[in-house]
């Protein structure tokens, strides 16, 4: 299947400038293509992941993806989708973010047939006079004002700095066409105006028949109409320090039946036959949630590796069964991150006093005795029924944690200091 036909089947094409021409080009030769990301933060989240999944699909078919880290454009701010000016960052913060994002890209794309560049390297060399003479003359203000990315800001106002963003992004496309053999730019639906501005610039400078193309990806909404990628706890990050691999895995495994097939098409590299089989299982055996499990496995492995999938499944099984003894300290740090948490010393203590005085898990000694006698308390997965039993906080999990379960589902993480 041609790469453009595959993207169509996956529902991943919003707009293209010349779909037939792009299809013909990709069948004739391996092309260079790019997507940019501004270093406004030090991690991508899963909403950012969508266009980069498209680049990965091109890479797997032999094409050459180029990632532009926007050290130049990121320093001034992108007006896209914002109702106010972006707060400018220090250059030190921008550099930190550039390094972090570059590392994430290498993790996703590897080091073969893949290039990372930083637009600061060429934009910073432009003088004001060069910018105005060589590029400003080629942009019509009326046309720029009609671009949706600018028009949406006119009512509340937009600075000249952010107004010029589309010129800088256009210069990026021209530079990459000349120096990296890039002929296609991919971006979100809100980037259409910026991308086509770049095509217009290339056609003015290099000739109107220059084969360069734009492809944008639809805005992704969940079945309930809300924006994809947001949870009650905020964004789902690719950085494992911000969103643990276990939390990442759980995000995908908890997806709605109405969305899971769409996400399998967008976020996995499974073929049409396998996705159709999973879609049938969603229809006939939704309670097994096989499609969700496969989605969680595939995306977690792509972002965090196979070992992260194994650990996430191990944590999931342990939490479901209550059998937590075999978890590692690292797995506990992931799986119990959002559980009620207290800190205690390493001092050994009677279980009743420990539950009431040290951890405050129990409201009173009377209640603690009753719960222990009734078998409602488990320490590190083991049921404790003896009110004279002693808790040794440093005995398990490298001496870092104690896991308390009260009743069937209430877990507490006790950190040992």
Residues 6 or more apart whose Cβ sits within 8 Å of residue 305: none
> According to the annotation, is 292 in a ligand binding site?
no
Judge whether 236 and 229 are in contact, CB under 8 Å: yes
Q: pLDDT tens digit string along 134-148?
A: 999 999 988 888 877
Please name the fold of domain 341-416: 3.10.290
* β partners of residue 415: 343, 401
Please report where in the chains the tokens 């259409």 appear, as a residue. Answer: 192
Q: How far apart are CA 379 and CA 403, in angstroms?
A: 6
Q: pLDDT tens digit string along 273-292?
A: 999 999 999 999 999 999 99
> According to the annotation, is 34 in a ligand binding site?
yes
* CATH number attached to the domain at 3-217: 3.40.50.620
CATH 3.40.50.620 range(s) for the chain read: 3-217
Q: Which residue has the higher pLDDT, 83 or 204?
A: 204
Percent of the chain's residues with pLDDT above 70: 96
Q: pLDDT tens digit string along 35-86?
A: 999 888 899 999 888 899 999 999 999 999 999 999 888 777 656 555 556 6
Query: In 83-238, where does DSSP find H-type helix?
Result: 91-109, 120-123, 128-130, 141-146, 148-151, 160-163, 165-180, 192-206
User: What is the per-residue pLDDT for 225?
Assistant: 82
Q: How far apart are CA 396 and CA 166, in angstroms?
A: 57
Residues 191-218, mean pLDDT to the nearest whole number: 95
User: What is the per-residue pLDDT for 123?
Assistant: 95
Predicted model pTM: 0.85
Lowest mean pLDDT among 88-92, 200-204, 261-265: 88-92
CATH 3.10.290.10 range(s) for the chain read: 341-416
Is pLDDT of 329 > 70? yes
Q: How far apart are CA 406 and CA 143, in angstroms?
A: 65
Smallest CA-to-CA distance from 308 within 230, 400, 240, 234 is with: 240
> According to the annotation, is 169 in a ligand binding site?
yes
- Mean of pLDDT over the chain: 91
CATH architecture classification, 230-320: Orthogonal Bundle (1.10)
Catalytic positions are 40, 45, 48, 82, 86, 169, 190, 227, 230-231
Tokens of 272: 């049409």
Q: How far apart are CA 44 and CA 108, in angstroms?
A: 11
Is pLDDT of 389 > 70? yes
User: What is the per-residue pLDDT for 231?
Assistant: 64
């Amino acid at each position: 299947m041609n790469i453009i036909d595959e993207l169509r089947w996956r529902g991943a094409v919003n707009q293209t400038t010349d779909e037939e021409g792009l299809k013909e080009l990709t069948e004739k030769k391996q092309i260079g293509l790019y997507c940019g990301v501004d270093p406004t933060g030090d991690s991508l989240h899963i909403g950012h992941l969508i266009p980069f999944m498209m680049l990965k699909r091109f890479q797997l078919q032999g094409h050459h993806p180029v990632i532009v880290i926007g050290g130049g454009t990121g320093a001034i701010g992108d007006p896209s989708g914002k109702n106010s000016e972006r707060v400018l960052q220090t250059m030190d913060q921008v550099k930190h973010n550039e390094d972090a994002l570059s590392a994430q890209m290498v993790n996703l794309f590897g080091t073969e047939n893949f290039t990372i560049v930083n637009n600061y390297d060429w934009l910073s060399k432009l003088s004001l006079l060069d910018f105005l003479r060589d590029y400003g003359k080629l942009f019509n203000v009326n046309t720029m004002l009609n671009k949706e990315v600018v028009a949406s800001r006119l009512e509340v106002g937009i600075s000249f700095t952010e107004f010029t963003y589309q010129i800088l992004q256009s210069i990026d496309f021209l530079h990459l066409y000349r120096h990296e053999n890039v002929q296609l730019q991919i971006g979100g639906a809100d980037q259409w105006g910026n991308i086509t501005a770049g095509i217009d610039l290339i056609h003015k400078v290099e000739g109107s028949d220059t084969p360069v193309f734009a492809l944008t990806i639809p805005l992704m909404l969940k079945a309930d109409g809300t924006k994809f990628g947001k949870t009650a706890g905020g964004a789902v990050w690719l950085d494992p320090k911000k969103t643990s691999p276990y939390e990442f895995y759980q995000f995908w495994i908890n997806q709605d039946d109405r969305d899971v097939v769409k996400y399998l098409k967008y976020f996995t590299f499974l073929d049409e036959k396998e996705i159709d089989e999973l879609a049938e299982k969603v229809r006939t055996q939704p309670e097994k949630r096989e499609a969700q499990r496969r989605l969680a496995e595939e995306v977690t492995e792509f972002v965090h590796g196979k070992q992260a999938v194994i650990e996430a499944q191990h944590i999931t099984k342990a939490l479901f069964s209550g059998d937590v003894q075999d978890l590692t300290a690292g797995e506990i740090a992931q799986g119990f991150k959002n559980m009620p948490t207290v800190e205690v010393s390493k001092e050994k203590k009677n279980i009743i006093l420990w539950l009431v005085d040290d951890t405050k898990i129990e409201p009173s000694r009377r209640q603690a005795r009753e719960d222990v006698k009734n078998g409602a308390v488990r320490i590190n997965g083991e049921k404790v029924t003896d009110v004279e039993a002693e808790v040794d906080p440093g005995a398990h999990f490298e001496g870092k944690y104690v896991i308390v379960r009260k009743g069937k589902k209430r877990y507490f993480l006790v950190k040992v200091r």
